[in-house]
Chain A
């Protein structure tokens, strides 16, 4: 069974106005339930402090034809954009920085979104964020009574990748016993049915101990040949095995799904399926369909071709520099995260691989200011990358450029993907 195809079929049928029910016919990939299915409207958080992993959510939603997607900044969260959404997905990054930039207002907006029936999906940093904490910035997100098992008063000795093996967490340390693939075991609770064992990659996400308020959906069950131990194996076993990897918690009328590993990572179809199942199962109930885009935002003919060509030009320019940077031994520290040159391409490739689709499509959906913004931001990325390469050739420092570059890349990917999903959604609707 191709899980991506199954969800794509559901979403395409729903877009065509076909009535589907959980567990029946085309929707047999989902557990049975008498409710009718509805297209979820999903916000993907890509604000300050996020790493590149929100792009994995974009990839998952693209493959499964979820097309009502809104990529969101901290400003959008604070400005009430969550109100029109069913689901809010928060992936990895620097948890404290994310919390700091969302601020008290952002915290309140997320809380009321969930309490009013919204679904919060958090993986890695997105899972740490709503856990109970007295730490500065995080104390605005005390939503869930779940304890972090990979927390220590002392910093455990790292076998490798010292910088990635642990981070400060107030006076304590959050340590990351392993990276890469781990084995997980489901508890069989809805909507995590159909698969008992599966794998997902762990890149610093939490190992959790839940209270009675939460349902355990999956436990850490073992390691794989790809698991990379950052601490002694015995400590890794003690910290992870038998601890909670995925939990579901109710809050008001809504729910939180918290995943330690990155269930949205594109190389893990079963984990991806569980994300999609969670979305359909616990998305906000009863929302009306959202307003369709106005006709002024539809570009066709030469205007559309020019826009796509202008984007392609700059992404190609950037990509050419980025590939050349691949072998240069440099890294930057942004917040508490380490960035290597290769990460530049992760953002660029997420755009590049979708340009052909826009080239082939008859129309593109974008407001005129968005068209301008995407091209200006893409040009800025090219300029920053060229400056960076030039400075590296001269053996000069590039840390200041890196801040600007990764921020611009994030914004560029956000704007582009918004255009892409809006255009894709429109073609499905028509």
Chain B
């Protein structure tokens, strides 16, 4: 199972980020969340959500979701040459990867709290 985000539904409220922060720190704080609302393009109204997982980084942008493998060489292309891993080889290094809130009775807290159901739990294969 993994977290899936529909960035077009997202309203950028950061409830998911704070819920995840609570899961990590047992207090209200944002620095340890593995789900982060990307909001650095404020004047452009361009925002989305990034989720750090064990081996990948899910970047949910309004135009679509991209999953980057962390530190894994990309598949061989037509040239047969393997490319080096993406430069963000260890994104959000100091944050723990998503554990689907395994020790919480609610299940993934970000899914539970999202007021517009932009976050859901999906099977790996989907």
Interface residues of A (CB under 8 A from B): 158-163, 228, 323-324, 326-331, 338, 340, 342-343, 345-346, 349
B residues 36-59 in Cβ contact with A at 8 Å = 36, 38, 40, 50
The chain A residue sitting closest to B84, CB to CB, is A162
Whether the Cβ atoms of A342 and B94 lie closer than 8 Å is: yes
In the complex, which of the residues B31, B84, B91 contacts A327, with contact meaning CB atoms closer than 8 Å? B91
In the complex, which of the residues A160, A329, A349 contacts B88, with contact meaning CB atoms closer than 8 Å? A329
Whether the Cβ atoms of B94 and A346 lie closer than 8 Å is: yes
The answer to the question of B71 belonging to the interface, with a C-beta cut-off of 8 Å to chain A, is yes
Whether the Cβ atoms of A327 and B87 lie closer than 8 Å is: no
A158 to B88 Cα, complex, angstroms: 18
A162 to B38 Cα, complex, angstroms: 30
Smallest beta-carbon distance A405→chain B, Å = 16
Q: Given A161-B85, A326-B93, A349-B94, 16 more contacts at CB 8 Å?
A: A158-B73, A161-B73, A162-B85, A163-B84, A228-B71, A326-B91, A329-B86, A329-B88, A329-B91, A330-B88, A338-B89, A340-B88, A340-B89, A340-B90, A340-B93, A345-B94
The answer to the question of B92 belonging to the interface, with a C-beta cut-off of 8 Å to chain A, is yes
B residues 63-118 in Cβ contact with A at 8 Å = 71-73, 82, 84-94
Q: Which residues in A have their C-beta under 8 angstroms from that of B93?
A: 326, 340, 342-343, 345-346
A343 to B94 Cα, complex, angstroms: 9
Smallest beta-carbon distance A230→chain B, Å = 10
- Return 17 A-B CB contacts under 8 Å, by A number: A160-B73, A160-B85, A161-B71, A162-B82, A162-B84, A163-B84, A327-B36, A327-B50, A327-B92, A328-B88, A329-B91, A331-B89, A338-B89, A340-B93, A342-B90, A345-B94, A346-B94
Smallest beta-carbon distance A246→chain B, Å = 27
Smallest beta-carbon distance B105→chain A, Å = 25
A326 to B73 Cα, complex, angstroms: 21
The chain A residue sitting closest to B68, CB to CB, is A329
Whether the Cβ atoms of B40 and A324 lie closer than 8 Å is: yes
Chain B binding surface SS class:
loop
With contact pairs A159-B73, A160-B72, A161-B71 given, residues A327 and B94 touching in the complex (Cβ less than 8 Å): no
Q: Which residues in B have their C-beta under 8 angstroms from that of A163?
A: 84
B residues 8-59 in Cβ contact with A at 8 Å = 31, 36, 38, 40, 50
In the complex, which of the residues B71, B90, B91, B92 contacts A160, with contact meaning CB atoms closer than 8 Å? B71
A33 to B98 Cα, complex, angstroms: 47
The chain B residue sitting closest to A163, CB to CB, is B84
In the complex, which of the residues A326, A330, A346 contacts B87, with contact meaning CB atoms closer than 8 Å? A330
Q: Which residues in B have their C-beta under 8 angstroms from that of A326?
A: 91-94
Whether the Cβ atoms of B87 and A329 lie closer than 8 Å is: yes
Whether the Cβ atoms of B31 and A323 lie closer than 8 Å is: yes
Whether the Cβ atoms of A331 and B87 lie closer than 8 Å is: yes
The chain A residue sitting closest to B72, CB to CB, is A160
Smallest beta-carbon distance A166→chain B, Å = 13
A343 to B88 Cα, complex, angstroms: 12
A328 to B36 Cα, complex, angstroms: 14
In the complex, which of the residues A161, A323, A328, A346 contacts B89, with contact meaning CB atoms closer than 8 Å? A161
The chain A residue sitting closest to B91, CB to CB, is A327
Q: Which residues in A have their C-beta under 8 angstroms from that of B36?
A: 327
- In the A-B complex, the 6 residue pairs with the smallest Cβ-Cβ separation, listed nearest first, are A342-B93, A329-B88, A329-B87, A160-B72, A161-B71, A331-B87
Smallest beta-carbon distance A175→chain B, Å = 15
Smallest beta-carbon distance B77→chain A, Å = 15
Smallest beta-carbon distance B115→chain A, Å = 24
Smallest beta-carbon distance B32→chain A, Å = 11
Q: Which residues in A have their C-beta under 8 angstroms from that of B50?
A: 327
A330 to B91 Cα, complex, angstroms: 10
With contact pairs A162-B73, A342-B91, A343-B93 given, residues A327 and B86 touching in the complex (Cβ less than 8 Å): no
The chain A residue sitting closest to B89, CB to CB, is A340
The chain A residue sitting closest to B31, CB to CB, is A323
Smallest beta-carbon distance B119→chain A, Å = 18
Whether the Cβ atoms of B71 and A327 lie closer than 8 Å is: no
Smallest beta-carbon distance A335→chain B, Å = 17
Q: Which residues in A have their C-beta under 8 angstroms from that of B73?
A: 158-162
Smallest beta-carbon distance B43→chain A, Å = 13
